[in-house]
Amino acid sequence: MGSLGVPQRTWLARSSRAPSSSGAQSSRRSTRSLGSRQQQQQQQRKNLLGSCSAALQKDTTPQSSSSPSDSPSASTSSSSPENNVVKNKPKVLIAGGGIGGLTSALACRARGIDCVVFERVGEYKPFGGPIQLQCNALSALETIDREFADEVIAQATITGDRLNGLLDGITGEWFMKFDTREPCRKNGLPLTLVISRYLLLDMLRKRVGPKVLRQGVEVVRYEHIEGGKRVRAHLDDGTYVDGDALVGSDGIRSIVRSQMRKEDREAPLRYSGYTVYTAVCDFTGIHTEVDKTGYQVFLGKDAYFVASDVGNGQQQYYAFLAVPPGGEDEWAKCERWSDTREMLLERFGDWCPAVKERLECTKPEDIERRDVYDIAPDPRWVDGRVALLGDSCHAVQPNLGQGGCQAIEGAKAITDELSMLTNGGEGVEGALMKYASRRFLRSASVSGFSRMAALMNTVYKPYLGSDPYGFYPDPVREMWLEVEKAKIPHPGRVIGQLMMFTSMQGILEYVGAGKVFDVTLPQSLGGACKGTEEERVPYCQVPGVSVPDRESLSDDDFKMKGIPGFAK
């Protein structure tokens, strides 16, 4: 960490609301006691970091001779971003009003950049399940709009202070526990949380305002005009809008991407190898330890089962099956069962109670099925004044909970680069290329980790002899089934645990708390706050604040006990 880095002792506790960006509001400190000199140093650091955070709400151009109060950005409240437009900034067009597109608009307006979002649907409706926001996304939101980030945290359910990790699907025993608190504590970042996807979109929509978001219209193509000095977005209603940059955040079947890469938009996507069945169920029918766990991944052969607390006394689960896409497999056709729930109960019939209880307390009509796709990493993100963002360029499998998080990271990164421009549309092409080079390797790494996690989930075998291959002759199969009874750890289990023991915390820190904010701050700060997490005031949720009555977990609860292969 840099000279203004945040050591563990400055990890500030917070209750229902975070301290202000200036650090003026009172806050409870972490349980570690600090000496008076350390407290003074900490307060000085907070004040300087507060000035950094406040400066991000102002124009990043050199200060003019006018007083700060005369500045358009300085005189406008952060709660009214649509009035916070600074002259000589590029005009940005955004295709797609999902999480990436709306966060880009939020970031643009916070930086004084004029923008407009074109969203195909005329009315947002509840769809999908809750979304996980890890500390990388939350810290990006804080830097963009601290007040909005506080509102998101207040509406969400914190899971990062609980037990998370991998379990054996049959026995229900822990295979690997993830201490998701540590990256947050180390870097002074908010704990992982979950929030309704629809609620988050609604909050973003209201925050950017109706003057920014145009619903019921879709960008169908683009063209560079005026000799490449501007870009024109053609809409499906026959009209067009001109701007200095176009951000294509229009999803995994992106129209903008298909034109940029000359692809067939209807061509098959890269199938992950899995179909997922998902639903939300109540806690009341679950007797396993739901209060102590955040998300759990139960491992099995050709299947895995993910469960997560989503607040309001409910859990969401995702049952992944390794089957062909398209719904033509026997499980999807569901001809031998009365409904989907009955089918899943048979498919996971020999799994542990924690899995079966969630299926049993689900209404059959609440279960949704969908094939899981992603996009292979491809560095072609930019075409002149047009750039891709979010799922349009790096749709990932859901195994790490990083889909929306990466879109939020990208929204901040692209706005960082565009906000440095001070002469309208000049330099947009270079800014977009910097954004792409800044984001490609990280998003590709996260995509790779997600695919690796899926592969590990489906080849997992607990014991030597487990799930013998179908092509074995019957005598050989019977021999291996007898060997399985001895419960000798499978070599893959031993190697897998050993690798996780040595690398998992590093992976968690890279994925969830990677140093992704590397833009130089305004000259008014004299270069004092160049770098990464120094852009924001560090604070973190207190473990247990999301559910005050929940029993606190000790550090020992997060530790695996035993040697690799036998650890639980």
5-56 pLDDT, tens per residue?
Answer: 333 333 333 333 333 333 333 232 232 232 333 344 344 334 433 433 443 3
Please give the pLDDT value at position 62: 34
- Per-residue confidence (pLDDT) for residue 390, from 0 to 100: 95
Given this model, what pLDDT does residue 566 score? 60
Least confident interval from 183-192, 296-305, 343-352: 183-192
Non-local (6+) Cβ contacts of 307 within 8 A are: 293, 295, 296, 298, 315, 316, 317, 318, 354, 355, 358
Q: How far is residue 101's CA from residue 108's CA, in Å, rounded to a whole number?
A: 10
Among 101-105, 149-153, 220-224, the minimum mean pLDDT is found in 149-153
- For residue 215, the model assigns a pLDDT of 96
How far does the chain reach from its first CA to its final CA, in angstroms? 34
**Per-residue pLDDT at 267 exceeds 50:** yes
**Mean pLDDT for all residues in the chain:** 78
- pLDDT category at 568 given cuts 50, 70, 90 is low
Report the DSSP beta bridge partners of residue 240. Answer: 234
Confidence of residue 78 (pLDDT cuts 50, 70, 90): very low
Closest to 420 (Cα-Cα) out of 409, 434, 408: 434
The two beta strands, 157-158 and 270-282, are unpaired
pLDDT of residue 550: 52
Task: Please tell me the predicted confidence (pLDDT) of residue 84.
Answer: 66
Is the model's pLDDT at 148 over the cut of 90?
yes
The mean pLDDT of 417-442, rounded to a whole number, is 93
Q: How confident is the model at residue 515 (pLDDT cuts 50, 70, 90)?
A: low
Q: Any idea where the domains of the chain sit in the sequence?
A: 270-374
**pLDDT score at 184:** 82
Can you give the pLDDT at residue 471? 64
- Specify the CATH number of the domain 270-374: 3.30.9.30
